């Protein structure tokens, strides 16, 4: 139950948010599509990096990733150690995007290949937002409100509306309002504030979990008992080692592992990483709003540094929650217990999607609980606002404006603002289907679906930059056939139950196979048509770089960017080195 102090913290968050939106709207007038979708290309690196992080960290992380930590340990860490991919994007992909002057990723494909490639990627991207972003973000946020605020409900015409729907609808409406009114500028500057709130809130959960576990009196391997915060980590390791299946909490699993075979995970996580961080409008749009290429690159590197945090902010608290539950730790006179769910075979396991809300509800004192709830709302609203802005950009620029190129700038703004309503409705309609195929938890559902969508897009973008001979036919066939194959796999999972039911090919192995097939399709299709016009490759492929491009790119970075990138990549390698053997 939230106290008055907790509610004051939440209200304070909304007041701060409103102030930032008001300041942003006064600073940047929305008069054109570029103002609405790219913040007038005037954003600095600090705000860009924070916006990348806040856009990525949605309610599905707080709900799904913590649940995955409790149920499967570090299995999902590979998707959260993608800071290296952001660094790669800043050096390899970003110069092409920024120097081309495009507003969207489909527009970049049109510059490189032709109009049909732009249409296909636009429609695929919009479908991906419904399947993996809008529906999941709304559902995870609503679940959090259901657990944290069960007392909040209203009755309308004899029907009781629970906190699940009140929280979901309220955040959707508020996020939609400030995204529509203030455009990308309002989104990135509110993200800068919300990043601080998210970090403070989630770090407090980790700190209090370590405190209670370290003072639990649990016996340690050396015969002593846990008596301090410093012992919390040792208790966690000892608890995991005492379980019947230590392997499930490790970083890597055997090739025959049902959910996370190491080879499939390595290929799928890298493929999804390149798609999400290097080609997806949702992320790239923030860098395109930069003042110049220097700020765009530094913003991406700064976002990569922040991306090092989620393993310790969400996965680790999930594992700490498992240890508290397993050891029956007493907190304020009550035994810490995570709700259980019953599987099809009648056995009961921890309900992963309730782990984080239970930690917040049980561990945190008055005030901190309100801070974390504010952080949760911040994560939900930042993701939704970013989604709304990206969806409206894709539809308005790549669909509507292509159909009606003479549309006045002000009408395009109106079209962009109304698009979010339709896409949100589609995301809500997908919720029942999503629940049916997300048996392994929200976060695993996201990664599985993305592993079906990402490979053909990655194949087309990477081959398009690296292979000058690739043409429109290769792009169209690669995107189209790859998307169809991915949707066939998604349909099979929906019918037969995915990872918990019949699966002809394990999800992550399928991702690797689909990537190879997509590349093969691109090559064969390209070779059956003439080579592209040189103007479609100049400045848009590595082989087509001219001296002016090289000079401007070189002038956009210095030793600070190089050292910062090396530090981020070094931290990723250090994390892998530690967690590779942490349970030995």
pLDDT for the residue 514 = 94
CB burial of 377-399 (b: ≥16 within 10 Å; e: otherwise) equals: bbbbbbbbbbbbbbbbbbbbbbb
Question: 287 near 299, Cβ under 8 Å?
Answer: yes
pLDDT for the residue 502 = 44
Is the four-CA dihedral 28, 31, 33, 34 of positive or negative sign? negative
Question: 64 near 376, Cβ under 8 Å?
Answer: no
Is the four-CA dihedral 348, 353, 358, 364 of positive or negative sign? positive
Taking the C-alpha atoms of residue 344 and residue 213, their distance in angstroms, rounded to an integer, is 32
Nearest Cα neighbor of 368 from 150, 572, 211 is 211
Distances (CA, A) of 194 to 16, 371, 377: 10, 11, 9
Consecutive sets of 10 residues in the chain, 584 residues long: mean pLDDT of each?
80 80 66 52 84 78 80 86 95 92 87 89 78 69 70 73 72 66 66 79 87 83 74 86 79 83 90 92 86 94 93 88 88 85 76 82 82 74 72 78 76 73 65 54 66 91 94 94 88 64 68 94 96 88 88 93 97 93 80
**Phi then psi dihedrals of residue 219, to 5 deg:** -70, 135
Residue 542 CB-half CA count within 13 A:
10
Question: 291 near 43, Cβ under 8 Å?
Answer: yes
Encoded tokens for 75: 């299995």
pLDDT for the residue 535 = 83
Domain range list for the chain: 4-91+119-427
pLDDT for the residue 431 = 56
The listed CATH number (3.90.1300.10, 1.20.1730.10, 1.20.120.1200, 3.30.420.40) that belongs to domain 4-91+119-427: 1.20.1730.10
Taking the C-alpha atoms of residue 501 and residue 514, their distance in angstroms, rounded to an integer, is 21
Model pTM score? 0.84
pLDDT for the residue 501 = 45
Chain centre to alpha carbon of residue 151: 30
pLDDT for the residue 559 = 95
Encoded tokens for 161: 């509306």
Q: Which residues are registered as beta bridge partners of 331? A: 334
């Amino acid at each position: 139950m939230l106290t008055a102090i907790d509610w004051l913290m939440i209200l304070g968050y909304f007041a701060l948010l409103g102030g930032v939106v008001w300041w942003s709207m006064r600073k940047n007038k929305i008069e054109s599509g570029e103002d609405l979708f790219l913040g007038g290309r005037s954003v600095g690196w600090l705000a860009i990096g924070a916006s990348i992080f806040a856009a990525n960290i949605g309610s599905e992380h707080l709900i799904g990733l913590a649940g995955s930590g409790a149920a499967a340990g570090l299995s999902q860490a590979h998707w959260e150690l993608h800071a290296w991919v952001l660094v790669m994007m800043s050096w390899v992909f970003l110069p092409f995007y920024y120097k081309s002057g495009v507003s969207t990723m489909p527009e970049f494909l049109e510059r490189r290949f032709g109009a049909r490639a732009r249409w296909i990627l636009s429609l695929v991207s919009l479908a991906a937002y419904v399947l993996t972003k809008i529906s999941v973000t709304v559902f995870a946020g609503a679940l959090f409100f259901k657990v944290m605020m069960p007392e909040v409900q209203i009755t309308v015409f004899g029907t009781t509306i629970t906190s699940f729907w009140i929280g979901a609808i309220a955040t959707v409406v508020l996020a939609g309002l400030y995204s529509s009114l203030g455009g990308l500028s309002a989104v990135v500057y509110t993200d800068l504030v919300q990043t601080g709130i998210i970090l403070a809130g989630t770090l407090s959960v980790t700190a209090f979990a370590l405190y209670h576990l370290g003072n639990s009196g649990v016996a340690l391997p050396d015969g002593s008992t846990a008596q301090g915060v410093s012992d919390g980590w040792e208790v966690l390791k000892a608890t995991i080692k005492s379980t019947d299946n230590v392997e499930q909490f490790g970083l890597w699993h055997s090739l025959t592992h049902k959910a996370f075979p190491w080879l499939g995970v390595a290929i799928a996580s890298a493929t999804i990483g390149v798609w999400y961080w290097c080609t997806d409008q949702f992320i790239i749009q923030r860098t395109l709003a930069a003042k110049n290429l220097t700020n765009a690159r530094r913003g991406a590197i700064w976002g990569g540094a922040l991306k090092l945090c989620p393993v310790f902010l969400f996965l680790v608290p999930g594992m700490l929650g498992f240890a508290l539950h397993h050891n029956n730790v007493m907190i304020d006179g009550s035994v810490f217990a995570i709700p259980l769910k019953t599987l099809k075979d009648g056995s009961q396991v921890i309900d992963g999607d309730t782990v984080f809300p239970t930690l917040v509800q049980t561990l945190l004192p008055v005030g901190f609980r309100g801070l974390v709830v504010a952080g949760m709302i911040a994560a939900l609203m930042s993701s939704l606002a970013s989604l709304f802005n990206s969806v409206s950009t894709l539809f308005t620029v790549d669909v509507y404006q292509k159909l009606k190129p003479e549309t006045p700038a002000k009408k395009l703004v109106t079209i962009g603002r109304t698009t979010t309503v339709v896409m949100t409705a589609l995301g809500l309609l997908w919720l029942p289907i999503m629940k049916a195929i997300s048996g392994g938890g929200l976060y695993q559902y996201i990664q599985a679906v993305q592993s079906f969508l990402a490979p053909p897009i990655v194949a087309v973008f990477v081959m398009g930059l690296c292979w000058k001979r690739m043409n429109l036919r290769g792009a169209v066939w690669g995107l189209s056939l790859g998307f169809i194959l991915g949707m066939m796999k998604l349909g099979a999972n929906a019918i037969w139950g995915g990872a918990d039911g019949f699966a002809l090919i394990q999800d992550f192995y399928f991702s690797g196979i689909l990537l190879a097939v997509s590349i093969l399709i691109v090559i064969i299709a390209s070779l059956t048509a003439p080579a592209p016009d040189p103007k479609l490759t100049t400045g848009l492929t590595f082989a087509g770089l001219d001296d002016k491009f090289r000079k401007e790119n070189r002038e956009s970075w210095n030793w600070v960017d190089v050292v910062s990138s090396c530090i981020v990549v070094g931290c990723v390698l250090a994390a892998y080195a530690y967690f590779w053997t942490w349970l030995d």
